[in-house]
Amino acid sequence: MSNFQKFTIFCSFYKPHLALFTADMTCALMVAFIDLSFPMFTKWSIENLLTEGLWKFFFIFITGLLLLYVFRAMFVYFITYWGHSCGAFIEADIRNSIFKHIQTLSFSFFDSQRTGQLVGRVTTDLFDITELAHHGPEDLFIAGITLIGSFILIYSFRPEMALILLFFIPLIVLHIIGSRAGLLKTARTVKQKTGEILSSMESSISGFRVAAAFTNEEYEHKKFNDGNEDYKKSRIVYFKSMARFCCRTEFMTNVMNVIVLAAGGALIMKNKMTLTELITCNLFMASFLQPIRRLQNFVESYTVGIAGFTRYLELMSVKPDIADNKDAVEIDHINGVIEYKNVSFSYNKGKRVFAGINISIPKGSTLALVGPSGGGKTTLAALLPRFYEIIDGTITIDGVDIRKIKLKSLREKIGMVSQDVFLFASTIEDNIRYGKPDAAVEEIVDAAKKAEIHRDIMKMPDGYKTIVGERGVRLSGGQKQRIAIARIFLKNPPVLILDEATSALDSVTEIRIQAALEELSKGRTTLVIAHRLSTIRNAENIIVIDENGIREQGGHDSLIAANGVYAELYKAQNG
């Protein structure tokens, strides 16, 4: 992507806040005009008031200057408050866009990404973008107006001094522009290292129980410290580059001040310049320091901000592997007739997980998938809601290819409980309500009762308002599983996918839940993945699948009678 395209995209975020941004720039313009006027007002007062002894008018003039600086303070307040607010609004817009985009990405994207890197792009990167969005245009605008205005005003009364500025200012500006590439490179490295250290922190904090169980705290600390050292070194390299940049800029600015003073002194000695004009030139030199520093600040905010914006664009350029087809339609109702026709799948176009799978699931029936781990059972089920995309074949619901159904519409009709239960760090009520965001409290309680978790909840001090903690850490495995099941009871979808849905339950609770799930499954098409074969005895069809594909299928009794793979698994589990 070209720099012009990046610039165009960056500018597009100002559009919703154009009125506020324009007001901010107008205030910045007024500040620049006031700063430029002070040296000229000083020159005029000395030449026309002080030398003539007009003391009364001089103090009236000073009062006017004070009033002018009152207005300047008001302009600065607006710039500081509303200018930063404009940056915050832009940051929120960018964060919304990136979060919305992340939600469209497929499972395969998250399989290859670290959470800390993504969090870094939505937090620290965007903060730097905000600083650039606010300070960047303001610094450039004020610096440009001040530099150009100062040159014009000095030229109006002393062209010789203006020529000195004309020599130095381009050198300083070229130095600032030339330093940008090196600073940008080091800033990008810092961004990368920041993402890595956030990933390390997220991983270590999430897995601290495992570290404690294996007494690997020192190992985790060393691993984190290594990442921290890399981050520190990258920051030091960046600061070193910034120091060289600032040092050279300050040196050129100071040399310019000395030469202006020397040139002015020489002109005074030759009676070609007055002392008042030299004082005015020096005041302009002092005012020059502010735009130069603003340009320095711009380069610093630009390097870190554009590095963050580049990472933002990289993420936004990732296209979802799975998206709605142009001819995709919404569906209001499905009967639940599901067919897998010659379905093949592989991760990242590598070795195929399975090929040529043909499965037919009649309306309202239950299909169970069993077999060894790694045989593709969970993957096969995940293809139905299009969490992954098949590479060959078709999957249909009621005869309609699922790729011709809008994703949101398709997934609304499918409920899923997996063995890896995820609970949000909120209340039990909020986690159950996730199955139906507009559900009433009575519906939530009813779903909890069906999932055999209501009594446990009522024993907790805060009942349904109990905070479950990060990933449900305050609950037992069985309680988390039952809350996940309650979500499905609340969602009440026509198609169910139960991936080891009762794996974390004790035998007594499992029996109660199994009965409730069977009740829920009546009239619904259900796909069950199970290791405990006792839980799927009543399934109309059982498929045994491994890395070689479908090995057997049929009812429980017929598979036992066949004395094949299923019978061996059943005997192994039952002694």
HSE-up (13 A, CA, CB side) for residue 393: 21
Q: Is the dihedral of CA 161, 163, 166, 167 positive or negative?
A: negative
Cα→Cα distances 18→22, 87, 145, 554, Å: 6, 12, 21, 66
Spatial contact of 443 and 490, defined as CB atoms under 8 Å apart: yes
Share of the chain above pLDDT 70, in %: 86
Q: What is the pLDDT of residue 116?
A: 64
pTM across the whole model? 0.66
Q: What is the pLDDT of residue 177?
A: 66
Q: What is the pLDDT of residue 217?
A: 64
* Domains of the chain with CATH codes: 18-316 (1.20.1560.10), 338-573 (3.40.50.300)
Condensed to tens digits (0 to 9), the pLDDT of residues 70-129 reads 998 899 888 888 887 888 888 888 888 888 888 787 777 777 676 666 776 777 777 777
Q: Which residue has the tokens 């169910």?
A: 496
Amino acid of residue 564: G
Residue 247: both structure tokens together? 């040092």
Say if residue 204 is exposed, middle or buried (CB neighbours under 10 Å; 0-12, 13-18, 19+).
middle
Taking the CA atoms of the chain, what radius of gyration do you get in angstroms? Answer: 35
Among 156-165, 439-448, 499-508, the range with the most confident prediction by mean pLDDT is 439-448
| Higher-scoring residue by pLDDT: 365, 573 | 365
Element (H, E) at 423: none
DSSP conformation class of 24: H
Condensed to tens digits (0 to 9), the pLDDT of residues 464-491 reads 898 887 777 788 877 888 888 888 888 8
Q: Taking residues 1-18, what's their average pLDDT?
A: 81
3-state secondary structure (DSSP) of residue 137:
helix
Q: Which residue has the tokens 């039990």?
A: 428
DSSP conformation class of 473: T
